[in-house]
Amino acid sequence: MRILHLNLEKGWRGGERQTLLTLRGLRAGGHEVALAARAGGPLAGRAAAEGIPVFGCGGAPGLVRILLMAGWRYDVLHAQTAQAMSLLAVLRPVLRAALVFTRRTAFDASGAEGRHRWKWARADALVAISEAAAAAPRALGLPVTVIPSAVEAVPANPQRMRDLQARFSLQGRRVLVTAAALSPEKDPLTLIDAIGILRRDHPDVLCLHCGADGAAADAARARVAGLGLENHYRFAGFQPHVTDALALADVYVSSSRFEALGTSVLDACLAGLPVVATDVGGHREILAPDRGLLAPAGDAATLARRLAWVLEHPEAARAMGERARAMAAREYAVPAMVARYESLYRGLQRI
């Protein structure tokens, strides 16, 4: 099959990693794949470095030109972002290929249901990465195929680990790691408040926050300073090799208010770490019933109590992490995800 994936995101987050993993797996299966992505962006650069053909563009107008000029070459056009799907929906009358959209979010702006239904209904196949992400289109009466995102084991690098330890003074500390952009939906303020509570009885705790700045960055830094947590909460910025941080951690924590799935939580599970996360979206699917601890979103006190339990019950926590590791390796493997997409694409060719 000839398959073109579309993703115009400027940065490198979970959706971009999943796009590259899918393209890589499809190519290994003998398919002709290509990517339309933002020129100069990290996704385009990484794909090109692996020998995947890339159509670079500066934004939506450039992607429209690519679709009109080269879209006819492909059997499947796969939108990996909502913006890309919007363009495919508008161009639907002139596109011959089967259209696929993967939905990676679990929340929508109020009043957008009609617009979303019009757009989603123009896809030949609508995919969601979790049951949580599938809920909104199903509520509109649309059929959805759930294909979870995947994670792959990446060994930690000892030298990079030592560098992280030295840079953020992790030696002799019990380390909590979170990997999330400093954006409102990731709710760093609740996590910071939880660390403020936790450090009262666990003064050796240190939270290493790996993630790029976002709209909540200034507020997060101000909260750390206001609570006097500079020795307990460190902002590490975006870490391209988060596996190194996970290898130094005692526990992984996520305070997200919304999460369609949570590939960072899956990364932590695959590393065998005990996980404490908010009881939202895909977190429930990954961690239930005995693979992690959940706390209500926005509840710093409960989040702190769950973290304290992990620190105070290391053997039980390790067993919990091992159950999560086995589940992640079995149910969220890259070959399984790619095989599901292959089957979906083949079914569209028979329509």
Q: Give CA–CA dist 163/82, Å, rounded.
A: 38
- Which pLDDT belongs to residue 196? 98
Residue 106: its pLDDT value, please?
82
pLDDT of residue 217: 98
CATH of 158-331, one of 3.40.50.720, 3.40.50.2000, 1.10.3430.10, 2.20.25.90: 3.40.50.2000
Strands 275-278 and 205-210: unpaired
Q: Is the peptide bond before 188 cis (omega within 30 degrees of 0)?
A: no
- 249-280 pLDDT, tens digit per residue, is 999 999 999 999 999 999 999 999 999 999 99
In the sheet where 251-254 sits, what is the strand order?
A: 233-237, 205-210, 174-179, 251-254, 275-278, 293-295
38 and 351 Cβ atoms separated by less than 8 Å: no
What is the predicted pLDDT for the residue at 319?
97
2-150+333-349 to CATH, choices 1.25.10.10, 3.40.50.2000, 3.50.50.60, 3.40.50.300: 3.40.50.2000
Verdict on whether the full-model pTM lies above 0.75 = yes
Helix (H, G, I), strand (E, B) or coil at 152: coil
Domain ranges of the chain: 2-150+333-349, 158-331
Q: Which residues of the chain have pLDDT under 50?
A: none
Paired tokens of 293: 């601890």
Q: What is the pLDDT of residue 318?
A: 96
How high is the pLDDT of residue 107? 72
Residue 109's pLDDT is 57
Residue 200 buriedness (CB in 10 A; 0-12 / 13-18 / 19+): exposed
